[in-house]
Structure formats: C-alpha cells, structure tokens
Structure 1
Amino acid sequence: MHDRVVIITGARSGIGKAAALRFATEGYTVVMACRNMEVSKKVQDEIIATSKNENVDLMELDVSSFKSIDHFCDKFKKRYEKLDILIHNAAYVEHGAKHRLSIDGIELTFATNVVGPYLMTHLLLNHLKKSDDARIFHAGSNIIKHFFDPKKKIEFETLQGENKDPKFSVYNMYRQSKIAFMMLTFKMADEFKNEGIKVNALQINGAKLSKETLNKFTLRWRIIGRIQSIFLRPTEYMANNYYDICTSDKFKETTGKLFNDKLEMMETATGETLGFIGEIKQVVGTSVYPAYADDKITKEKVWDFCDRWTEKYTS
C-alpha cells in the first residue's frame, strides 16, 4: 500500500490519531492534516515509531479557514501526484462555548464541520480523479437523531454574521452541522458518481474523548463527557471502521451510504407513525437515520450555501 495516499484531518488525537496509526501500520502514505503543529509533531513521531512507517507526513491545516485550506491543498498537490482517500475527521465541538465566527464570517461550527470539508474536497477533486479507487469519508455523528423530530430544521439564517439569538448553543449548532454534513455526503456521491469517486459516511455513536477535547468544554459539559467516556468504546474501534469503509473491496462500489458502527448500511426512516415505543426504538437503534437528511430542497440549500461562500477559491 506504499503507493496509496490518504489525508486525515484532525489526526493528532482521538479517532483521527487512531486512524492515522492504522493506515500507517498497513503501509499507506498518511498525510496528517492538523492545526496545532507543535502538538501534532509529537504525534507524528509516535505514529512513525509505532508503525515503523516513515511515510507519515504532517501538514498544517485549519479546516475553519478558507485561506488555510487553499494553502494546504496547493502544497499537497505540489508534493503528491494523486490522492486515494480523503477522510474528513476534524470537527469543532466545544460544547458550552459562546458564539464564534470563523475568519471568513461563518459560524465556527458550521464553517469547520461543513463548509471547510466542501471546499477542501473540491480543491482536491482533480487529484482524487487520478486514483484508481478514490474514496471520500465523512465522520458523522448519532447527534443527527435529534432530527427524527420533524420540528427540527437547519436554521440557515443563523449560519453567518454575529449571533442575535441569546439562546445560542454550540450543541444545537453541532447537530445542525452534522445533519448538513450528512446531506453533503449524499449530494457529493451523486455529483462525483461519474468520476468514479465514492463518498460515504459513518455514524459515530461515541468514542472515548481525549483530555484535549474535554478541556475545551465548559465544566458542565466536561463532567458529562467524562461520564459518557466511561461507557464508550476505545478510539481504535471506530478507527478500524474508518479503515474498512475506505479500503475494503466489499465497499469498492458503494457510494452515498451512511454506515452504523457494525458497518451495516443504514436506511432512511419511513416517516410512518410509530407510537411512543416505536419512536424510542428508532432513536436508540442504528438501522435508520432521519428522513430530513434526504430532503432535496434542504440538500440543495446546504450545497448552494457552501458553493456561494467558497466561490472565490473554486472558480
């Protein structure tokens, strides 16, 4: 696998770090796309030593910044002839934090989790086309289960400019970003199908949080996170799912799908009236996702929002 190249964003900790180690151990050329270079350099050295693979590259990337993404992609394309696997793992998830804008003027959660990956994918598209088995992977979240509630929608009017909602919540924005990211998965799969590029996602139902991530949370959310981590699987479990979805021959022709942690393809909810018990089973289960993710009008709005904001860099 020494001739196959994989980019993993947010590869310095958590599932991203575990995934980088798995791919490196299997002999892939791994590009760790990370924001904090000082911390990430130590992780890079650790992965090289553990995997005994020298082809672990570290490149600076802030997924919330269009300029940083453009610089990263330009540098990558000069350094590598092709790209085989693009893993969008990085995410902004500072629960309890106040409203913040990205440097480009978009709410930081949505900029990092949705618009940044959209831009990065488009800037690397020609390099992906050079691969004989190009795959794009989106790290999803079971937080999208909130959208089983038909009243929940993406609040497009809150995605840019200063916050005017006194009840603003990063948690609320995070779940909106993840359902939008799910919509991008389906839309990209359709857009890139004729290019032979596969686009899939994994619904992550939790993994042990790193101390670095927990320390970003406010005290209340930090306590909740620590308690939850006691019952969650190690990061290697989800990292192995990353690897299988991105490399297995079983999924070579699969695109536009959401997988659960057992690597079963999930289906859209029917929207039928299920009753109280049925609704509980739907929420706690892992076989279906909210029908809202398939809403054509909203998918187009998400795509158009990303396209409009990144036009300067993609045209």
Structure 2
Amino acid sequence: MVNKIVVITGANSGIGKAAAIRFANEGFTVVMACRNVERSKMVQQEIMEATKNPHIDLLQLDISSFQSIHQFSAALKDRYPKLDILIHNAAYLNHGESNYLLSQDGVELSFATNTLGPFLLTRQLVSMLEKSDDARILHACTTNIRHFFDPKRKIEFDNFQGEFKNERPFKAYKFYGDTKMALLMLTFKMAEELKQKGISVNAVQIPAIKLSKETINKFKSGWRVAARVQNVFSAPRETMADTYFHICTSEEFKNVTGKLLNDKRKIMEPSHYSAGITQDIKQLMDQTVYPKYAHNKENIQKVWDMCESLTK
C-alpha cells in the first residue's frame, strides 16, 4: 500500500483512531482530520510509535464549518498530489442535549456535522480522488436509521436550521438518526454522480461499539452511566476498523458502489417485508435489510438540493 493516501475524519479517538492505526500498519499515508489539533498531536505521535509508520499527518478540520472544510481541502491539495480513500467517520451526537445548537454557518449542529460537512468535503476533494486508480469513499452510518422501519418516522427537513426551535422540543437522538439517514441517502445519489469519475461511494452500518473515554466524557452526567453499561456489551473498536479497511481496500468491494453494508461486511438491501406484527419483528431482527425510506427518490433529491443550496 506504499504511496496510498487515506483521509479519516475524527481520527483522534474511537473507531477513527483504531482505523488510523489499521491503515498505518499497512503502510498507508494517513491524514488525521481532527477538530482539536493540540489534543490530537499526542494521538498522532502514539500512532507513529505503535505502527513504526512516520507518514501520519495531522490537519485541522471542523467538519461542521464551511470555512474549516475549505481550509482543510486547500492544505491537503498543497501537500498531496492525489487521494485514494476518504472516510467520513466523524459524527456529532450529544446525548441528553435539549437545546438547539447551530454551527457557525447557522445550521443545526447534527446536520452540519453528519450530513452537510461530508457532502461539502467530498465535493472539495473530488479532483484529488479522480487521480487515484482505485478511489473509494466510505460513510459511517448507524443502526439508528432502523427507526425508519416505523412508517410514521420522517426526516424533519424543515427544521435543519432550527426553524422550529421555539415550537418543537429538541431530541438529540432523533436528529442524529435523521442526519444519518440523510447521509445514507447522499451515499446513493453521490455514487451515481461519481461513478463515471471512477470513484466508489458506500456506507457502513455501525452497531454498538465500545465508546472511548473522550466520547463518554462529552455526554451529560446521566448518560455517561448508560454509556459505560453499554460498553460492557459492545464490540471492540478494532473490529469496525478492520471493516473500514476491508471495504476500502479489498478486491471484493473494488467495483461495489452505492451500497449500505453491515458490520459483517454483507451488502444490505431495502426491506422486502410487508405490514403486520410478525413481519415487523422479522424485519427488526434481520440485519441484511434497511428501511425502504432510504430509497424515497423525492427525499433523496430533497437532501441533495438542500446540501447544494446551503454550501454554495
């Protein structure tokens, strides 16, 4: 993998850090795209020492900020002639948050971080990805989207800039699910747009994974206890890092694009189950299907148009 370059957002902790180590061990040049550079320097040094790979770069990136995305993209283009893999791993979910928080661009922070930022960053880096002989983009999705099996569940398209902050209560977990469903929808549309450029775009559904101390400490006190309990039953981060690596480098997925994969590296399909309690239970238990809502063409176009409009 000499001369292969991978960008991983949120590479200073959790799955992102584990993925950075995995790619570094294979000889990749790893670009850690992190919001807090000072804190990330220690992690950068740790990865270099652990993997004996000196090609671990660190660039500042706040994925919720348009200005930061533009600055990161310019810096990356100055340092490297191409990009082989782009992994959108960074995400925002503040358990217990009850207030609407907006990015510096006036966008609800979950949407800015989980959907809009990845859209803009990919747009900025297409010219670099085109120069790779095997360019791949991976979106980190979540099992949270399975709530959309409920036919009443809808994305709040009209509230992504906090338009109804005085009328609708803020529910962090719902906004997280909405923005990750929007990211999955972008995956399908983006795969179509970039296929002719030789760039594949896929998403991976992440199950319960052990959270890092850094992530848990960001939670409000009551949620920290729940997170620590969940950690006891969750899979290690390294298993997901291995999955990232396999999807982004293996021959098996070289010509696969526009797909959602589960943590077992199996391609998932839109649900085929009909209505009814028995069918609903089977659908929820079946880890090979995802909500048909994700393929609603009108909503896919709505997400795409909103991202284009807000990032102009």
- Aligned partner of 2:178 in structure 1 is 176
Which has the higher mean CA deviation after the structures are superposed, 224-233 or 137-146?
A: 224-233
- Aligned partner of 1:46 in structure 2 is 46
Letter in 1 for 2:244: Y
**RMSD across aligned positions (CA):** 1.0
Distance across 2 between alignment mates of 1:165 and 1:85: 42
Which has the higher mean CA deviation after the structures are superposed, 187-196 or 213-222?
A: 213-222
Give the drift of 1:166: 4.5
Letter in 2 for 1:250: E
8 Å CA contact 1:10–1:33 kept in 2: the answer is yes
- Aligned partner of 2:24 in structure 1 is 24
Of all paired residues, the percent bearing the same amino acid is 55
SS in 1 for 2:91: coil
8 Å CA contact 1:206–1:232 kept in 2: the answer is yes
8 Å CA contact 1:5–1:28 kept in 2: the answer is yes
- Aligned partner of 1:86 in structure 2 is 86
Distance across 2 between alignment mates of 1:25 and 1:226: 29
8 Å CA contact 1:271–1:291 kept in 2: the answer is no
8 Å CA contact 2:204–2:261 kept in 1: the answer is yes
SS in 2 for 1:203: strand
- Aligned partner of 1:75 in structure 2 is 75
Structure-2 change in CA distance of 1:14 and 1:105 (3 Å) = same
Give the drift of 1:272: 1.6
- Aligned partner of 1:249 in structure 2 is 251
SS in 1 for 2:256: coil
8 Å CA contact 2:8–2:32 kept in 1: the answer is yes
**TM-score normalised to structure 2 length:** 0.97
Distance across 1 between alignment mates of 2:45 and 2:5: 18
Distance across 1 between alignment mates of 2:166 and 2:158: 10
8 Å CA contact 2:273–2:283 kept in 1: the answer is no
Letter in 2 for 1:260: N
- Aligned partner of 1:127 in structure 2 is 128
- Aligned partner of 1:159 in structure 2 is 160
Deviations 1:264-293 (A, max 9, x none): 1000012522x3233123213311000000
Distance across 2 between alignment mates of 1:280 and 1:168: 29
- Aligned partner of 2:145 in structure 1 is 144
Letter in 2 for 1:160: Q
Give the drift of 1:161: 3.8
1:34 correspondence with 2:34: yes
- Aligned partner of 1:283 in structure 2 is 284
Distance across 2 between alignment mates of 1:152 and 1:19: 32
SS in 2 for 1:153: coil
Letter in 2 for 1:214: I
Letter in 2 for 1:95: H
- Aligned partner of 1:240 in structure 2 is 242
Distance across 2 between alignment mates of 1:200 and 1:45: 30
Deviations 1:67-96 (A, max 9, x none): 000000001001100000000000001111
Distance across 2 between alignment mates of 1:135 and 1:182: 15
Distance across 2 between alignment mates of 1:66 and 1:218: 27
8 Å CA contact 1:144–1:175 kept in 2: the answer is yes
1:259 correspondence with 2:261: yes
**TM-score normalised to structure 1 length:** 0.96
Distance across 2 between alignment mates of 1:108 and 1:95: 13
Structure 1's unaligned 5+ residue stretches are none
Distance across 2 between alignment mates of 1:210 and 1:203: 19
8 Å CA contact 2:9–2:34 kept in 1: the answer is yes
Give the drift of 1:146: 0.5
Distance across 2 between alignment mates of 1:63 and 1:232: 27
Give the drift of 1:99: 1.4
8 Å CA contact 2:202–2:257 kept in 1: the answer is yes
Distance across 1 between alignment mates of 2:73 and 2:127: 11
8 Å CA contact 2:7–2:87 kept in 1: the answer is yes
Distance across 1 between alignment mates of 2:167 and 2:230: 29
